[in-house]
Structure 1
Amino acid sequence: MGMWELVIVFIVGLVVLGPERLPVAIRTVMRWVKTVKSMANSVKAEVSEELRIHELHENLKKAEQQELKDLSPELQQSVDELQKAAQSVTHSYKTPSSTPANEQPDEKK
């Protein structure tokens, strides 16, 4: 929208809503616009992540077909990224080790 279109919308809003309700209506519309923008950005980020995951999956299939030998740099990078992700998941599920059975906790003597 251009400058003149905004002026016309403002004047029509002023006539229809009046000077008391126009600021409230503008704030409400701005909240809706922000909500829609945030939802659109969220969907955009999710779609982008899904496409990246799909690409990594395809690269992994190609690497498996080549038996993980003589991989192109792109395939090798995807395999490395997947290995790092798998290691981070594995580390997050490991339970912290408790004190070994033959060690006694330090006690005041």
Structure 2
Amino acid sequence: MFDIGFLELMVVGVLALLVLGPERLPGAIRSTVNTVRSIRNMASGFRQEVEQQFKEHELHENLKKAEQLQLKNLSPELQRSVDELKDAAASVQQPYRKDK
């Protein structure tokens, strides 16, 4: 992603040592690592959320196609989507069913 070589890292390290000093440098490194880690986690969460939205959109489009075909003569892909939606609907309704 970034084109940073070993020499550049050494220059940044020496400058950080001169500016921050040996007492504050480990804390600054820890803080930087924690910040980078939290940014990566946020980016990962965002990516997963976008992927989930795309999957939901695809299922919605497949359901529209299936409704237009009146759930007859569906392609295998559409049939899988319809079955997946039926299973999801059944699993949501299951806790609320009253068995008499």
Q: TM-score, normalised by structure 1?
A: 0.84
* Other-structure match for 2:22: 19
Residues in 2 aligned to 1:75 and 1:41: alpha-carbon distance in whole angstroms:
29
Gaps of 5+ in 1: 101-109
Residue identity in the other structure for 2:18 = V
Higher gyration radius (CA) = 1
Structure-to-structure mapping, 1:71-82, within 5 angstroms = 71-82=74-85
Deviation at 1:5, TM superposition (A): 1.5
Deviation at 1:94, TM superposition (A): 3.0
Gaps of 5+ in 2: none
Residue identity in the other structure for 1:37 = R
Residue 32, structure 1, aligned to residue 45, structure 2: no
Residues in 1 aligned to 2:97 and 2:42: alpha-carbon distance in whole angstroms:
35
Residues in 2 aligned to 1:41 and 1:93: alpha-carbon distance in whole angstroms:
34
Residue 49, structure 1, aligned to residue 52, structure 2: yes
Residue identity in the other structure for 1:55 = E
% identity of equivalent residues = 53
Deviation at 1:2, TM superposition (A): 1.9
Q: What is the number of equivalent residue pairs in this alignment? A: 97
Structure number having the greater helix percentage: 2
Deviations 1:7-62 (A, max 9, x none): 11111100100011000000000000011110111111111001100000000000
Q: TM-score, normalised by structure 2?
A: 0.91
CA RMSD of superposed structures (Å)? 1.4
